Amino acid sequence: MQILYILLLVIIDHITKYIAKIQLSYGKSVTLIDGFLELIYVENRGAAFGILKNKKFFLVGITTIAIIGMIYYLVRTANLNKWERMSLIFIISGAIGNLIDRIFRGYVVDFIHFYIKDIFDWPVFNIADILVVIGAIILAFSILFLKK
């Protein structure tokens, strides 16, 4: 069942990326909340925040190893609680979603831009990134606050 959840989340990620790619021409933006949130098409050729730009083979290799390790741990560890399972499902899904982009496009499609006028400007991200961050937060919470 866990693999089906991962597959579903990867599909959702790629549907949103496909919609962003066909609806937003490069550099064009759609404001959702003025001064706060917009959709804009960006091709990220690096990792988080654009670091390791144009290091495709390195990023693909590291991500593949991490995904294999997490899937192995998820499938083989029987005593994970529901929060740990959910966190790993989210992290794996996000990693696979962006890995597919890197392998087949050579870049990751990002399209969600969060900012606060001229005060704060977060780098553009996507659903896969959200999954990884939420998964990491849930995992940290589970490790720190839930007893085995």
Q: Catalytic residue at 129?
A: yes
Q: Catalytic residue at 34?
A: no
Indicate which residue of 13, 101, 118, 129 is catalytic: 129
Residues forming beta bridges with residue 121, ordered by sequence position: 115
The H helix count followed by the E strand count for the chain is 4, 4
Q: How far is residue 5's CA from residue 86's CA, in Å, rounded to a whole number?
A: 9
63 exposed, middle or buried (CB, 10 Å; 0-12, 13-18, 19+)? middle
Q: How far is residue 108's CA from residue 29's CA, in Å, rounded to a whole number?
A: 17
Indicate which residue of 13, 34, 101, 110 is catalytic: 110
Q: How far apart are the first and last CA of the chain?
A: 22
Which are the catalytic amino acids? 110, 129
